[in-house]
Amino acid sequence: MSTLLEVKDVCKRYGKKTALDHLNLTLESGHIVGLLGPNGSGKTTLIKLINGILTPDEGEILVEGMKIGVETKKVVSYLPDHTYLNMGMRVRDILDYFEDFYQDFDVVRAYDMLAKLSINPNDKLKSMSKGTKEKVQLILVMSRRADLYVLDEPIAGVDPAARDYILRTILTNYDENATILISTHLIADVENVLDEVVFIQNGTISLTSSVDDIRINQGKSVDALFREVFRC
């Protein structure tokens, strides 16, 4: 086990609004981690910083000891909260594009996942339902053999049966030395696959814990703890 991600005293402001406030977080390799927090707590902002979409106003972020940039993008596979794909493209062409672009893209794994979810690679994204588009994007992201997967709301738009398949796929396909950081509000759906949880509140980390610790020592599910901590 080694340190994969270090977020050191990071602040991020949008004008006068402070989204992240001296946030610190360290993730080791080999874990599936839930990034959980109420609306507006800073999850997407943190994820964008880890992926170099935004830059911090203060502090620094390191992946495998490297500052965020071209080299870290080679080892981080990112599912954004909004699609960046060209809706006019066929899935097959997007797979070709990913294979050219990412050295770690496993095209066989991608076609296998498409087949299991009955998605036709000849279809164009724009002809697909919202949930199917989301499945395609997740397949693209999980078909890279990355060290860190950062998934922003990966299962929000898919039906419960597909959620189970997708979570099983994540579990069975990912390398045990990799780490997955998943931001989601669907805690009950994902908590069985999580090793650890990170609670974020008002732009700072309010709790980091193993899921076993919450279950055994506190005697409750992560979902129940979340509802208690963030009761409105």
Ligand X SMILES: Nc1ncnc2c1ncn2[C@@H]1O[C@H](COP(=O)(O)OP(=O)(O)OP(=O)(O)O)[C@@H](O)[C@H]1O
Residues lying near ligand X in the complex (CB under 6 A): 14, 17, 19, 37, 39-45
Q: How far is the CB of 19 from ligand X (least distance, A)?
A: 3
Name which of 43 and 133 has its Cβ closer to ligand X. 43
Q: How far is the CB of 201 from ligand X (least distance, A)?
A: 10
| Per-residue tokens: 9 | 């005293």
Conformation bin of residue 139: beta by default, left when phi > 0, alpha when psi is -120 to 50:
alpha
Q: How far is the CB of 65 from ligand X (least distance, A)?
A: 26
Biggest distance spanned by C-alpha atoms of the chain: 51
Which candidate, 47, 6, 38, places its Cα nearest to that of 25? Answer: 6
Which candidate, 4, 24, 8, places its Cα nearest to that of 203? Answer: 24
Q: How far is the CB of 163 from ligand X (least distance, A)?
A: 18
Name which of 105 and 199 has its Cβ closer to ligand X. 199
Burial class (CB in 10 A: 0-12, 13-18, 19+), 185: middle
| Contact status, residue 133 vs residue 84, Cβ threshold 8 Å | no
Name which of 21 and 112 has its Cβ closer to ligand X. 21
Q: How far is the CB of 226 from ligand X (least distance, A)?
A: 12
Name which of 57 and 212 has its Cβ closer to ligand X. 57
How many angstroms separate the Cα of 98 from the Cα of each of 69, 78, 104, 107?
Answer: 19, 13, 9, 8
Give Rg (Cα) of the chain: 17
Name which of 39 and 172 has its Cβ closer to ligand X. 39
| Contact status, residue 150 vs residue 50, Cβ threshold 8 Å | yes
Name which of 15 and 219 has its Cβ closer to ligand X. 15
Name which of 40 and 69 has its Cβ closer to ligand X. 40
Q: How far is the CB of 47 from ligand X (least distance, A)?
A: 8
How many angstroms separate the Cα of 140 from the Cα of each of 69, 221, 229?
Answer: 21, 31, 35
Q: How far is the CB of 203 from ligand X (least distance, A)?
A: 7
Which candidate, 209, 175, 178, 176, places its Cα nearest to that of 195? Answer: 209
